[in-house]
Structure 1
Amino acid sequence: MKAPVAAQMLMFLLVGLTSSTILPDTDDICRLFPDKTVVADPSSCNHYITCNNSVSEYTRCATSTPYFDNSTMKCTKTLSDDRHCQLSCLEHVGRFISDKTTCKGYYFCQDEITPIHGICPNDLHFDFQAQSCVYKSKSNCTLSSFDICSVVKTDTKVAHESDCRKYYQCTKRVLTLKNCASGQYYNSTAGACYEKWKVNCPKIPFPDNVCGTVKTPLKNKFVTDDATCRGYFYCADKGSIPDPAPVWGQCKNDTFFDTTTSSCASPLNVKCPTGADRCEGRSLTFVSGSETGCRQYLRCQNGKTEEEKSCGNYFFDENLTACISTPITYTSCVRK
């Protein structure tokens, strides 16, 4: 009895690898686009995709207008160019071809007209030349490897998958790198930049020159993660070069990382990075905000700001949990 085709494909692709974790991995193209973005299906000229909360919803064009045109982003009677949506197995029968939408994806050409889709396991990319899944460290595949702008309308924003501070924009079909303003992260679902604490960033990116420069590397130093009030990076001594992979850590609850002393301190004595949430890690319901003047306070719930409030012409005393007339001079909110 022959093994199922899918099983044969996976075993072949994983030859030479010793990954201990082989789990199903979703890699939906809509993870890259804002909600309601319409995408030309790269694998079918008769379908289009609508992104809903980072999940692809496929729609087939009507019989009267059976083709989806990536230039007008509408269903039409004919296509003048089908290169953006045509998967050809004519020259690849019995071999694997790359998925145009993801570094992890591939198709197995069972015959000239039957491509079977598959996804490499966690932390692996498909390599067409090797005809197998390889570790990311050995892969040259990046988002720019795909003509991602050929399947969406111009000016569409595209998430940057390794740095929350950045995103791409399709400008006249060209993928252009953009940066959020200081103190902001990009929200891929909303397609906009927000204060860092309002965005769920999977991995805090290294700040620029986090461990110094080649000329003046930081050695055995703790530095702010520039994203949270409690977080820091430890820069080890790497000789004449900055630590290329500093280790992230955070202060215990109800303490913040103080950049002036490179240590954990009372939150009232610490100015947080721009865009950070002062409710993070706090056990109090009401805490002093970061706005200059010490009149702002925050209502916290589960370590996140639920509401921003103001004492008006009074000052917020965090220890008394009250607005008072006596001026407050917390380091966290006084003028520089």
Structure 2
Amino acid sequence: MEKPKAFVGLALVLLLVQSFGVANGREEDICRLFSNNTVIRDPDSCGQSITCINSVSHYSTCSGSTPFFDKDTGKCVKALTDDSTCSVSCEEADSQFVADPKSCYGYYYCSDKETALYGKCPTDTHFNATTQTCTRTFESACTASSFEYCSIVKNSVNFDNLQGCNKYHVCEKGVLKDKTCASTSYYQASTGTCVAKALVDCEAHPLPSNVCGTVKKPLENKFVTDGATCRGYFYCTKQADGTPDPNPSWNQCPPDYFFDSSSQTCKHPTLVACKWDRCDGRTSAFVASGTTGCRNYLICDDGITQAEKSCGNFFFDENQGACVPGVLSYAACK
């Protein structure tokens, strides 16, 4: 068994110094949900804040006479009277250690009836309030660390909703609200705004309405467009009860190929009419636009359309990547 470090005089002094560090050991950093420079309270501790920089958590620990982090003011404070999830009382714990209600490894040392000093147990140990020691994790029965987003994020801060690329969250008066971007855009966590779909590396495309058909006419063992990209598609499998597939799997065609619903195959982009970004997955800098007449072309950069240009009275030849006088007609731009 190991006594909490704050029990030692030198370590107790060290607790009065604010410390900074970069998150480690987390498989999925919570900052992947927030825009750059967003500050939240650590969901695992009432005495720590997190500053999100390039989707990575940077920790700051409150200490001394202000051991708690207030998510609304962004400051270390003496007490959090409006947050019962972080309520720590030293009233009957003078000169004792009390557990951090949001963390298995955290604790507070009550130097008197009003002052709680924050501390953490060493790696692979949890705090045990009964024995007043840090015990090995396999001996611990702690199940802390559950949290609600609005208890760590202040109001009016947008953050990602992983359930769909077009969705995001925001806390309004302490209540979590689900928001949805316009039909032409996806939510970009790094900027905290809705942007063009092509700018977001999406892994959770929202299911189009009746993507796998209806109860009366379900689509069985069939590929359908994802309704968001020219390359992406869903596969609707036949259900034993005859209902539409509620969770079709998503995939996409290889680079320089678009999905064609009619043939159920991946084809050359000029053979497929698609209203989404036609630069997606393209290796060429200039590709045929979907504009009727086949006289326009797109300038692509990193799979995203930068501009659309016209060949005037000429036609755009995608094979040559140039405007030519000969009449050309593609299925993509008829």
Q: What is residue 17 of structure 2 aligned with on the other side?
A: none
- CA drift of 1:273 comes to 5.0
Secondary structure of 2:213's aligned partner = coil
**In the alignment, structure 1 residue 265 sits paired with structure 2 residue 283:** no
Q: Does 1:41 align with 2:26?
A: no
Shift in alpha-carbon separation, 1:288–1:42, aligned structure 2, 3 A = same
Q: Partner residue of 1:193?
A: 194
Residue 67 to residue 296, structure 1, CA distance change in 2 (3 Å) = same
Q: CA 1:39–1:251 in structure 2 vs 1: closer, same or farther (change >3 Å)?
A: closer
Question: Higher mean Cα deviation, 249-258 or 82-91?
Answer: 82-91
| Partners of 1:232 and 1:162 in 2: CA distance | 18
> What amino acid does structure 2 have at the position aligned with 1:316?
F
- Contact 1:43-1:87 at 8 Å conserved across structures: no
Q: Which has the larger radius of gyration?
A: 2
Match of 1:72 in 2: 73
Q: Return the letter of the residue paired with 1:267.
A: P
Verify the 8 A CA contact 1:298 1:307 in the aligned structure 2.
yes
Q: CA deviation at 1:174?
A: 0.9
Q: Deviations over 1:215-271 (max 9, x none)?
A: 221123221122332222222332521123434344344331123443333311323
Q: Which SS does the other structure have where 2:31 is aligned?
A: helix
Q: CA RMSD in A?
A: 4.1
Residue identity matched to 2:321: T
Q: What is aligned with 1:139?
A: none
Tell me which residue corresponds to 1:111: 129
CA distance in 2: counterparts of 1:160 and 1:117, whole angstroms: 35
Query: For the Cα contact (< 8 Å) 2:220–2:239, is it kept in 1?
Result: yes
| Corresponding position of 1:242 | 244
Worse-superposed segment, 213-222 or 245-254 = 245-254
Give runs of aligned pairs for residues 102-141 of structure 1, distance below 5 A. 108-112=126-130
Q: Which residue of 1 aligns with 2:304?
A: 305
Q: What is the SS of the residue equivalent to 2:210?
A: coil
**Could you tell me how far 1:175 is from its partner in structure 2?**
0.8
- The question of 1:157 aligning with 2:152 is answered no
Contact 1:297 1:316 in 2 (8 A): no
Contact 1:156 1:170 in 2 (8 A): yes
User: What TM-score comes out, normalization by structure 1 length?
Assistant: 0.66
> For the residues of structure 2 that align with 1:206 and 1:47, how far apart are their CA atoms?
38
> How do 1:202-213 and structure 2 match up within 5 A?
202-213=203-214
Match of residue 135 from structure 1: none
1:288 aligns with 2:306: no
- Paired residue type of 1:311: S
Distance in 2, matches of 1:56 and 1:96, equals 19
Shift of 1:172: 1.4
Query: What are the Cα deviations for residues 262-306 of structure 1, in whole angstroms up to 9, with x where unaligned?
Result: 3333311323353x45341x34332123456652312355xx237
SS at match of 1:30: helix
When residues 241 and 117 of structure 1 are mapped into structure 2, their CA distance, relative to the original with a 3 A threshold, is farther
1:272, 1:278 within 8 Å by CA — same for their partners in 2? no
d(CA) in 2 for partners of 1:72 and 1:114? 33
In structure 2, the CA distance between the partners of 1:92 and 1:85, relative to structure 1 (3 Å rule), is closer
Matches of 1:208 and 1:181, distance apart in 2: 15
Shift in alpha-carbon separation, 1:277–1:155, aligned structure 2, 3 A: farther
1:287–1:300 Cα contact (<8 Å) kept: no
Q: 1:320 maps to what in 2?
A: 320
Give me the whole-angstrom Cα distance separating, in 1, the residues matched to 2:253 and 2:228.
Answer: 13
Please state whether the residue corresponding to 1:206 is helix, strand or coil.
coil
Q: Distance in 2 between matches of 1:61 and 1:150?
A: 17
Question: Taking structure 1 as reference, are residues 262 and 115 closer, same or farther at Cα in structure 2, changes over 3 Å only?
Answer: farther
Residue number in structure 2 paired with 1:182: 183
- Identify which range, 109-118 or 305-314, moves more after superposition: 109-118
1:237 to 1:43, Cα distance in 2 relative to 1, 3 A: closer
**8 A contact 1:204–1:227 mirrored in 2:** yes
The Cα shift of 1:148 comes to 0.9
Among the aligned pairs, what percent are the same residue?
A: 42
Q: Does the CA-based 8 Å contact 2:99-2:127 persist in structure 1?
A: no
How many residues matched?
279
Instruction: Confirm or deny: 8 A CA contact 2:225 2:234 kept in the other structure.
Output: yes
AA aligned to 2:272 is V
Deviation per CA, 1:153-196, whole angstroms, max 9, x where unpaired?
Answer: 21111211232121111111111111122232222122122222
| Contact 2:205–2:228 (CA under 8 A) maintained in structure 1 | yes
Q: Structure 1 stretch 260-269 or stretch 169-178: which is displaced more? A: 260-269
Kindly provide the amino acid, as one letter, of the partner of residue 255 in structure 1. Answer: Y
